[in-house]
Amino acid sequence: MSNSPRRTLVGRRGTPPVVQAEAHLVDQYTRLVSLAYLTLPATLTRHRRVLLAHGIVQRALPRTGGMRGARRAEVVPAQRTAGGEHIADHLRERVLRAALNCERRPRGWPKRLPPPRTMLNRLPAVWGLRLFPRAGGAEELALGNTLAHVPAATRAAFVLRHLERLSDSKVNELLGAAGVQEPHRALRASHRLDATAGPTAETLLRSQEFDACSVQTRPTDLLRRRRRFALLWAVTAAVAVLVVLAASLGGDDGEQPTIALPAGAVGPDQLVRVPGELWADTSRVDFSAWPPRGDRTDDTQLLTRALATWAAPPKTVRVTKSVGATSQPPSSEPQLLFAGAVRERTVAVFHDGQRLVRYTESSGAEPALDFARADDADVTTAAAVVLDRGRAGTRYLLAPWIVEAAHRDLLRPDAPARPLDFGKDGITEPVASPSAKGPCDAWPVLQLRSSDLIVEKHAFLVTDLGGLTPAHLSYTPLPGQGAPARQPREATSTNALTSWTRTACRLGEFRDDGVRAVNVWDFAEQELPDRGGRAVWSCTRATTWRGPGHVLLQFKAQGTDSAPLVGRADATAACSRFGQHVLASTQWVAPSGGRYLLAAGSREVVSLKVTGAVEAAVQGRALARKISSPDARVKVRARLSDGSGLDPIGT
């Protein structure tokens, strides 16, 4: 049975009465228009966003079930409480879906135009007139700039939480119903925006800066508009002549034109070039020890274009940043890591001590800049850089201390690792990356081994989570008897690979989140009642380059392939060396059919207590008590060896 947010919110119950829906739309028109206006892409002008927002809301009314010619029956939210909330959810979903569609463009569609299916929402059109909300203050401007640089789904989650005052669970369901693929990630990203808006988020969103119903009007430039018609044919002819000249004079070698460096920008002669064997004779083994590699490290024109683009990116350049990274120009001389051809593209990679910067250019396409955090990297997190992702696979640039590479599937721990070829310059052959969409039937990882000059036979796993550098995977086994707490180790042993098998598909939840390392910690084991076998409780922690981490708790019962989530937390130190105490609980159905409340804690837990529908107290780190109903409400709490209390993660 699916637990998709879309299925939990949406049901096929027929459309709500149109008269009631219209009354609700008119009553909440301003809030719905604000929701659409704030969700629409900031790349549109404020005039276009105002018109689109009004058009989207005015077309949010459902069709009647008996409407002649209707293409299909509407899919509307199932009634959860009162009819009013049912209709409100339905209207919010339709508004969100239409606004989010404005960012989903077919390949090759112009960036300044919405996709074809949303062109109708541009009506009503206002000729010769410009509409825009009144200007706000500095705080509103700062919030507007912040919202402009995040995905539409994140903006929508932020507005639903603060403007509509919806709970996280309701926001998650609405986003899923509106077609967002991973609503929990958009919701998590919206919480990070709270640091910008602070406690005044609701007040700011209700200000005139974002009120698309209280607008100012201004005419367009009347004389300019008149001249445009007169010059239309002349401009068309001039463009045609330029196209012909460009086609006749352009070269066939695909080279990009040379551009001048901005004043004060770093030039190719100022780049830091590390000697080739420095990595074998230094105590700091990270990106600062990489020598320059590639077949174009002496190409002054390429390096000039890359550095000039980094210093002052033109508007046509695609710029992407990992979470927590900045796109500022270099403050000192950056280090050159790579410059060369990768398939049909040319790539240059730099390191400025805090960030990795990848410049990419290819014939017939605008250059691209990618920024990622790389501070405090080490032997494992500086072991590889993604040079190119394509249909054939991903090509990595391996660190100079990597002497052996292989690839394996985390979902098949018994299958041996297969060798991965790479050249003298460190570029690997194409290797499969985890699929961002579709079923999770494989999870490819790289298995790398460093040189004996650094650590003897040090093998480790890394996996592609969408960033410039793959994330390092590690494993912490179950606690021992009376020994010091066990530390994370490389996930290459049989026990580690077996534990990772039922966690691998959860890694997709951390994609594009600036994750540097992921550790699976088996923090407790338990004998299940009714001869249910043995269960292991695991905590998966994804640590970001910024420091805070995301935590997922799983319950792994013997004899089953599934490992359901029993808790999660974001922006937390839990399951790290700064958060070593963990408690989790869940309900479990035994093979005999009996239903049990289970709980377990980490090594410092000395007793457990349950209150509510079940009353129980035990000495030790695990508890199992029979319960009569899945809806039974209980509260679990643990006591640590130092006498302090501990609640389950996620509560």
- Per residue in 220-279, pLDDT (tens digit) is 554 555 555 556 656 666 666 666 565 555 444 445 555 678 888 899 999 999 998 889
3-state helix, strand, coil in the chain (%, to 5): 30, 30, 45
- Average pLDDT over every residue of 620-643: 93
Rounded to whole angstroms, the Cα distance separating 207 from 575 reads 41
CA–CA dist 214, 28 (Å, integer): 15
Name the token pair of 3.
């637990």
Give residue 241's pLDDT. 62
Confidence of residue 10 (pLDDT cuts 50, 70, 90): very low
Q: What is the CA radius of gyration of the chain?
A: 28
350 C-beta neighbours (distance < 10 Å), count? 26
Q: Which two tokens stand for residue 399?
A: 């660190």
- Which has the closest alpha carbon to 205: 165, 169, 159? 159
pLDDT tens, residue by residue, 377-396:
999 999 999 999 988 899 99
As beta bridge partners, residue 359 has 348, 369
Range name among 113-127, 159-173, 198-212, 352-366 with the lowest pLDDT average: 113-127
Give the other-Cβ count within 10 Å of 106's Cβ. 8
Share of the chain above pLDDT 90, in %: 47
Predicted model pTM: 0.68
- Report residue 310 as tokens: 């980094």
pLDDT digits (tens, 9 = 90+) for 305-354: 999 999 999 999 999 999 889 999 998 899 999 999 998 899 999 999 99
How far apart are the C-alpha atoms of 126 and 220, rounded to whole Å? 11
Q: What is the pLDDT of residue 62?
A: 75
Per DSSP, the residues of 592-639 read TS-EEEEEEE-TTEEEEEEEESS-EEEESSEEEEE-S-TT--EEEEEE
pLDDT value at 446 more than 70: yes
The pLDDT of residue 382: 96
Q: What is the predicted pLDDT for the residue at 4?
A: 38
Tell me what pLDDT residue 77 has: 40
Tens digits of per-residue pLDDT, 567-576? Answer: 999 989 999 9
> What is the mean predicted confidence (pLDDT) over 517-533?
94
Pairing of strands 365-373, 318-321: parallel
Q: Are the C-beta atoms of 359 and 304 separated by less than 8 Å?
A: no
Cβ neighbors of 246 (< 8 A, separation 6 or more) are none
Beta strands 444-450 and 418-419, pairing class: unpaired
Output the pLDDT for position 117.
47
Range 350-366 average pLDDT:
93
| 147 CB neighbour count, 10 Å cutoff | 22
Pairing of strands 10-11, 393-398: unpaired
8 Å CB contact between 609 and 645: no
| Cα–Cα distance measured from residue 636 to residue 553, given in angstroms and rounded to the nearest whole number | 16
3 pLDDT higher than 90? no
More confident residue, 120 or 207: 207
Q: For residue 8, what pLDDT is reported?
A: 37
List the structure tokens of 476. 């912490």
* Confidence band, pLDDT 50/70/90 cuts, at residue 606: very high
pLDDT of residue 491: 96
| Span 549-605, pLDDT tens digits | 999 999 999 888 889 999 999 989 999 988 999 999 999 999 889 999 999 999 999
The mean predicted confidence, pLDDT, of the chain is: 83
pLDDT digits (tens, 9 = 90+) for 12-60: 344 456 778 888 888 888 889 888 888 888 777 778 888 888 888 888 8
Q: Please say if the pLDDT value at position 75 is more than 60.
A: no
The span from the first CA to the last CA of the chain, in angstroms, equals 26
Rounded Cα distance between 247 and 478, Å, is 66
Q: Which tokens is 305 given?
A: 């274009």
Q: What is the pLDDT of residue 232?
A: 62
Q: How far apart are CA 635 and CA 641, in angstroms?
A: 20
Of 516, 473, 470, the closest CA to residue 496 belongs to 473
Q: Where are the chain's structural domains? A: 5-217, 222-249, 268-377, 465-646
**119-172 pLDDT, tens digit each:** 444 445 555 566 757 666 667 777 877 887 788 888 889 889 888 888 888 898
CA distances from 567 to 130, 322, 334, 507 (A): 50, 26, 43, 15
> Residue 627: CB partners within 8 Å, gap ≥ 6?
587, 595, 596, 597, 613, 614, 634
Give the pLDDT of residue 632: 87
Residues 274/337, Cβ–Cβ less than 8 Å: no
pLDDT of residue 244: 58
* C-beta neighbour count of 345 within 10 angstroms: 18
DSSP state of 276: T
pLDDT at 432 over 80: yes
| pLDDT score recorded for residue 182 | 85
Q: For 202-239, give one letter per residue: b (16+ CB within 10 A) or e.
A: eebbebebbbbbebeeeeeeeeeeeeeeeeeeeeeeee
Query: Position of tokens 């879906």?
Result: 97
Give the residue, 504 or 217, on which the prediction is more confident: 504
Indicate the pLDDT class of residue 66, thresholds 50, 70 and 90.
Answer: very low
